[in-house]
Every structure is written in C-alpha cells, then in structure tokens.
Amino acid sequence: MILTVTLNTALDITYRVRSLRPHGSHRVSEVTERPGGKGLNVGRVLAALGHEVTVTGFTGGATGRIVRDQLAESAGVVDALVPVQGPTRRTIAVVDTTTGDTTQLNEPGPAITPAEWAAFQETYERLLRSASAVALCGSLPPGVPVGAYAQLVRTARASAVPVLLDTSGEPLRRGVAARPDIVKPNAEELAELTGSHDPLQATRSARRRGAHTVVASLGAEGLLAENAAGRWRAAPPRRVHGNPTGAGDSAVAGLLSGLVENLPWPERLARAVALSAATVLAPAAGEFDRPTYEALADQVAVTSEASAA
C-alpha cells in the first residue's frame, strides 16, 4: 500500500470561462468539483495506475463531507482522513479557454487543535506499518507546527518506509533537514530553499541540506533529478497546452509508483514527465489523459550525466 498525506485537503472547484477579465462579469461554461489537496491528487493518479492507495490528512465541515463522499467514488483509494471541527478549504481554478491560462484562488484551511494534531500522528504511525512508501504533500493548515513534515519524515524513516516530500517554504527547509528519500520542489521552491536560481547548483545545495534525491520540476522543460548515483534530465517531446493544476502531483505519483516498482531512475522520470504532461490535458487535478500518457511514455527524452556528489 502507498500512503499519501494531505494535511490541508480541499474541495477543488474548476470554472471554465471564455476569457477572464479583471473587474468583469463572466459566464461559466463548465464547472467541475474534485477532492483536492496535493496528496489526494497523487493518490487518485496512483490508483489509476493500478496501485493500492490510502489517503490521510484532515477533513471537516460540510466541504469535508463532500470531499469524503466523492473520495468514496474513487476506485482503489482508501479514505483514512482524520475528522476535525474546522471546515475543509476550497480552491478555485478559473481556466481561460481562449488563452489556456489558469488563475488559482486557495483558501487557508481549518485551524487544527493540538488534540487533532495528536490524533493524526497516531493514525499516521498506524498506517505506516503497512505502507511501502509515503508521500507528504502540500501546505500546512493553521495550527499545525511548522516542523510537522520534519517530524513525519523522521517517523517514516524510523519505520523504514521510503518518504517523498513535496511542500514549500519553511516546512520544506525543515523537512529536508530530516533527510527524506526524495524531495520534489518546483524551480521557485528550490530557489527559495537554496538561494540559487541555477537548477544545477540548487539541486546540489538541497542534497547537502539533507535530501537523498532531489527531483526539480522545471515546468515545460520537464524534470532535473540528482542523487549519489547520478544526474538526469527528462523532458517531454513537445509542449502541451491546458490546465497545469495537478501536473506536479501526477509527477509525484510517477516517482512513487516507480519507487515501489523498483524501476531505474530514467524510467521513473520518464513516467513522471509523461503523467505530468497528460494531466495538463485532463479536466481536473488528480486525473490524466491516458492516451496522451501512453503516447508520451516512450517519447520522453531522458539524458544522463555524472553527478557532482
């Protein structure tokens, strides 16, 4: 079983409009709702790839009930979310269908009490006993300690469960110091962590800070990965246009599935890039266009070079 953690779950709402104009009134042509938050998106993609998945984190209020009801319809995803008093947040993505651009609005999430945080940690430790890998994903809701991911990384490592960390800011900085097996920042997050805007220098710096493997998401340019065994670049054969929301989460699913299947790193990266590109063409995060994924999986260019480790 692969475990994904989403401490700040959400109900993802996507609006499609012909043209998004500030201060204007817009007629929405299509609305979709999906359980959201990075780890839930990762979990749905993993399930679509045929893996057993359990999702945990926090959920509460009327929005949380909608999230859980919809999760129950997601084949292959087991709900182990921890109930809280505060309402689960909503995220709003507005897609301009003329330009393909997306505007994102994210609510902060519920305030988590010390008792709720303690209840989650108990659930997490129990779930780790049957986990083959764990992904720690996304932002922290109010009330959760800023060092929460560092603590969860150490707990996973103590249980000998490989752990991937995908977050940003201070939670990322502290989490990296706990020595996760994989971190997957985007270019902006990596620069904030290391102070370097050169991806090569930044990945080396992130490894020196504690990460065993750094996989940097470079947007349309694909992925740059480095560990003690080497350095690789993986790029899609062509640029795809659509809604990029959730593309990074699909890349995480590709990396995790490759980890538990014990694939060589070039194959893991090719899968991650193909899934990411195929998600851009899907209607909502946590989904991917399977024909596009299958077509791209063998077309992703992966190049290898010596690691500076």
Residue 227 dihedral angles phi and psi, to the nearest 5°: -150, -170
- CB atoms under 10 Å from CB of 306, counted, come to 7
pLDDT of residue 103: 86
Query: Averaged over 275-300, what is the pLDDT?
Result: 76
Q: To the nearest whole percent, how much of the chain has pLDDT over 90?
A: 61
Q: How far apart are the C-alpha atoms of 304 and 268, rounded to whole Å? A: 13
Q: Distance between alpha carbon 151 and the CA centroid of its chain, in Å? A: 19
Give the highest mean pLDDT range of 120-129, 190-199, 292-301.
120-129
Average per-residue pLDDT in the chain? 90
Q: To the nearest whole percent, how much of the chain has pLDDT over 70?
A: 94
Q: Distance between alpha carbon 292 and the CA centroid of its chain, in Å? A: 20
Annotate 68-98 with b (16+ C-beta within 10 A) or e (fewer).
Answer: beebeebeebbbbbbebebbbbbbebbbbee
Q: Distance between alpha carbon 126 and the CA centroid of its chain, in Å? A: 22
pLDDT band, very low/low/confident/very high, at 278 (cuts 50, 70, 90): confident
DSSP element (H, E) containing 275: helix 265-280
pLDDT band, very low/low/confident/very high, at 298 (cuts 50, 70, 90): confident
Contacts of 189 (CB under 8 A, 6+ apart): 168, 169, 172
pLDDT exceeds cutoff 60 at 309: no
DSSP class per residue in 30-76: EEEEEEESHHHHHHHHHHHTT--EEEEEEE-HHHHHHHHHHHTTSTT
pLDDT band, very low/low/confident/very high, at 88 (cuts 50, 70, 90): very high
Give per-residue pLDDT as tens, 103-160: 888 888 899 999 999 999 999 999 999 999 999 999 999 999 999 999 999 999 999 9
Q: How far apart are the C-alpha atoms of 24 and 174, rounded to whole Å? A: 42
pLDDT of residue 136: 98
Query: Averaged over 213-222, what is the pLDDT?
Result: 88
pLDDT exceeds cutoff 80 at 243: no
pLDDT of residue 285: 61
pLDDT exceeds cutoff 70 at 99: yes
Q: How far apart are the C-alpha atoms of 299 and 288, rounded to whole Å? A: 17
pLDDT of residue 55: 97
DSSP state of 263: -
pLDDT exceeds cutoff 80 at 282: no
pLDDT exceeds cutoff 60 at 307: no
pLDDT exceeds cutoff 80 at 283: no
pLDDT band, very low/low/confident/very high, at 306 (cuts 50, 70, 90): low
pLDDT of residue 215: 95
Residue 227: left if φ>0, alpha if ψ -120 to 50, beta else—which one?
A: beta
pLDDT band, very low/low/confident/very high, at 63 (cuts 50, 70, 90): very high
| Residue among 10, 6, 260, 48 at smallest CA distance from 135 | 6
Q: Are 309 and 207 in contact (CB under 8 A)?
A: yes
Beta strands in the chain (DSSP E): 2-6, 10-17, 28-36, 53-59, 77-79, 82-83, 89-96, 102-106, 133-137, 163-166, 182-183, 213-217, 223-227, 230-235, 301-305
Residue among 12, 166, 249, 289 flagged as catalytic: 249
Does residue 69 have an active-site annotation? no
pTM of structure? 0.89
Query: Averaged over 183-192, what is the pLDDT?
Result: 92
Give per-residue pLDDT as tens, 4-44: 999 999 998 888 888 888 888 888 888 888 898 999 999 99
Q: Exposed, middle or buried: residue 55 (CB in 10 Å: 0-12, 13-18, 19+)?
A: buried
Higher-confidence residue of 93 and 88: namely 88
pLDDT exceeds cutoff 80 at 246: no
Q: How far apart are the C-alpha atoms of 78 and 71, rounded to whole Å? A: 8
